[in-house]
């Protein structure tokens, strides 16, 4: 059995070598191999990784690759865990990505001091073939968005930028840039050694391989786990010791995928199944609501956070997140009108895709899923 991404103990280079992590790269064309493996980006969008990689490689150099470890989702810890436990696997994926797209500069983009320490120690243990910089940014929800990362590394604010240009065309210092989530890079390093066919032995045909998930809430042993795609939500929480009570719902994708009701306990955790349920897998964080936790109170608190955390660059985001917050506050207090419900239903459908980044989509997801899943709640 090939090694997994997940290890209980942090691994320095000696531990990685002893574990046999770094065998020879078995593929001639890593971009073709990650395409054959069906690797999707793990930063939240689930976009096929090879498309971004190929777009950067097709542009004239110089090119830059960025390992994005700025984990803005409040309940997700998998990127931070990966950077502190498997820093060499991330660096290896970053350097292989640089080679694959023809980049001569690499950047590790992160926030937390423990990740800075871990990556610094790992870099001191190896001699990268290309320049590797470590760029530290203040943690915010939007700082991890890829255009925000490129702006920050270029000396600007860590705020998203309207597209075009896409960062694969003009990113860091105006150069074509591949911004790849650190988990995506770790999977790419794994695929480079073990191949697409081995990767596809886990997971499902449409969502192959494994994923890191952060499980919180009503669960016996909250934490980060590596699981194959295709488990049901109940099986997922069984990996972490099981539910501590009958869950009242599931907050999906960090806070990005909205709220699914308890009827989804047997929903399979794949990109396709979760999307078909009206939600999103996002960064892979799932919180089980405890029995008795009031869905409207959770929605009111989290959408208030959205209104507070908006980067306030796009009028539609400032107004939209505030309006969603106010409607949920009215629902929670029992003062909501039929118009509030109708507005939420409409915003859930019409606001996604309207901001310069996907932040507004997350707030709209709450409007859409809470009404669909808990439409019968009394106010
Ligand atoms: S959608 Fe919201 S968070 Fe994203 S750039 Fe616009 S104002 Fe900022």
CATH topology of domain 13-199: Rossmann fold (3.40.50)
Segment among 1-5, 62-66, 185-189 with least mean pLDDT: 1-5
For the residues 172-191, what does the mean pLDDT come to? 97
* Average pLDDT of the residues in 366-379: 74
Distance 35 CA to ligand 1 centre (A): 31
* Per-residue pLDDT at 305: 94
**Pocket lining for ligand 1, CB < 6 angstroms:** 142, 160, 310-314, 317, 355-357, 359-360
Segment 297-302 mean pLDDT: 95
Residue 340 in this model has a pLDDT that exceeds 70? yes
Mean model confidence pLDDT for the chain: 92
CA of 3 to the centre of ligand 1 (A): 39
Q: Label residue 131 by pLDDT band (50, 70, 90).
A: very high
Pick the CATH number of 295-374 from 1.10.3720.10, 3.40.140.10, 1.10.220.70, 1.20.1440.230: 1.20.1440.230
Q: What are phi and psi of 337, to 5 degrees?
A: -100, 175
If you compute the radius of gyration of the chain from its CA atoms, what whole number of angstroms results?
A: 21
pLDDT at 216 over 90: yes
Q: Can you name the CATH fold of 210-289? A: Ubiquitin-like (UB roll) (3.10.20)
Nearest ligand 1 atom to the CA of 145 is 4
What's the 310 CA to ligand 1 centre distance in angstroms? 6
Q: Is the pLDDT of residue 65 over 50?
A: yes
What is the band of 5 on the pLDDT scale with cuts at 50, 70, 90?
confident
Judged against a pLDDT cut of 60, whether residue 377 lies above it is answered with no
Residue whose CA is closest, atom 1 of ligand 1? Answer: 355
For the chain, the domains span 13-199, 210-289, 295-374
Q: Of 141, 315, 359, 365, which is best to mutate to test ligand 1, by the most ligand atoms within 8 angstroms of its C-beta?
A: 359
pLDDT of residue 2: 62
């Amino acid at each position: 059995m090939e090694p997994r991404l997940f290890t209980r103990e942090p691994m320095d280079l000696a531990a990685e070598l002893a574990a046999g992590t770094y065998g020879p790269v078995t593929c001639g064309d890593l971009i073709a191999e990650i395409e054959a493996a069906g690797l999707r980006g793990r930063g939240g969008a689930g976009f096929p990784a090879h498309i971004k990689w190929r777009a950067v490689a097709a542009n004239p150099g110089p090119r830059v690759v960025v390992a994005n470890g700025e984990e803005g989702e409040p309940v997700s810890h998998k990127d931070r865990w990966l950077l502190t436990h498997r820093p060499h696997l991330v660096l290896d994926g970053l350097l292989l990505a640089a080679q694959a797209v023809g980049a001569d500069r690499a950047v590790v983009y992160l926030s937390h001091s423990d990740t800075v320490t871990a990556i610094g120690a790992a870099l001191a243990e190896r001699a990268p073939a290309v320049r590797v910089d470590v760029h530290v940014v203040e943690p915010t929800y939007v700082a991890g968005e890829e255009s925000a990362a490129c702006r920050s590394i270029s000396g600007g604010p860590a705020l998203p930028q309207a597209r075009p240009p896409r960062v694969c065309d003009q990113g860091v210092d105006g150069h074509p840039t591949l911004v790849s989530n650190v988990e995506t890079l770790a999977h790419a390093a794994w695929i480079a050694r073990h191949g697409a066919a081995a990767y596809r032995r886990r997971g499902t045909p449409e969502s192959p391989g494994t994923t890191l998930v952060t499980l919180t809430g009503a669960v016996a042993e909250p934490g980060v786990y590596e699981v194959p795609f295709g488990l049901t939500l109940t099986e997922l929480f069984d990996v972490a010791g099981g539910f501590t009570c009958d869950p009242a719902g599931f907050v999906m994708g960090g806070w990005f995928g909205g709220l699914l009701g308890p009827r989804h306990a047997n929903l399979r955790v794949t990109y396709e199944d979760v999307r078909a349920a009206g939600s999103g897998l996002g960064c892979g964080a799932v919180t089980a609501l405890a029995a008795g936790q009031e869905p409207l109170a959770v929605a009111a608190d989290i959408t208030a956070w959205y209104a507070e955390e908006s980067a306030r660059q796009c009028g539609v985001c400032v107004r939209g997140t505030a309006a969603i917050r106010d409607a949920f506050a009215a629902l929670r207090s029992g003062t909501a009108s039929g118009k509030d419900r109708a507005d939420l239903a409409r915003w859930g459908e019409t606001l996604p895709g309207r901001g310069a980044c996907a932040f507004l989509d997350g707030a709209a997801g709450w409007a859409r899923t809470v009404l669909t899943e808990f439409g019968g709640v009394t106010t």
